[in-house]
Every structure is written in C-alpha cells, then in structure tokens.
Amino acid sequence: MLDKQLLSILVCPVSKGSLEYDREKQELVCHASGLAYPVRDGIPVMLESEARVIGCEEKAKKPGFASPAEPPSK
C-alpha cells in the first residue's frame, strides 16, 4: 500500500503531471507523459529509465482522453 500523503506530493519527473496509483499493477501512472513508474516494496521508483510506456488502451481509461481515431471530448 502506498501512503496517500506521499502520493499527494509526488509528480511525474518528465511532465510534472499528477500520478494515479494502480494498486493491481503496483505502478504510478502519469497519463500526461504516458509513463508508468514501478512501486517496489512500497517505494516508488521515479526514474524515467525504469518507467514503462503505457498503451493506448490504458490511456483511454483516463477521462477526457481521446484516442487518435476519436475527436476530442468537449
């Protein structure tokens, strides 16, 4: 489990965007940069070299995100 207070102050080191905790995958996801940072033993690994690029399906789960085939939502 990741501490909520820690999550509230962490930002993506690439985009400076907010992070969303994926408990199932043990990752911190940044939809702005399209990267997912691993959480190992409760410690976020906030290195771009350790991040995973998230796919279009995962990005589409974020409200307000439009896939390339869809027009942007208003």
- Pick 59 or 23 by higher pLDDT: 23
Architecture of domain 4-60: Single Sheet (2.20)
- Pick 2 or 25 by higher pLDDT: 25
pLDDT confidence bin for 2, thresholds 50/70/90: confident
pLDDT confidence bin for 57, thresholds 50/70/90: confident
Specify the pLDDT at position 7: 87
Average model confidence (pLDDT) across the chain: 83
Ordered by start, the domain boundaries in the chain are: 4-60
Average pLDDT over residues 30-53: 95
**Residue 4 carries which DSSP code?**
H
Report strand pairing: 27-30 vs 52-53.
Answer: unpaired
How far is it, in rounded angstroms, from Cα 63 to Cα 50? 26
Residues 38, 44, 47, 53, CA torsion sign: positive
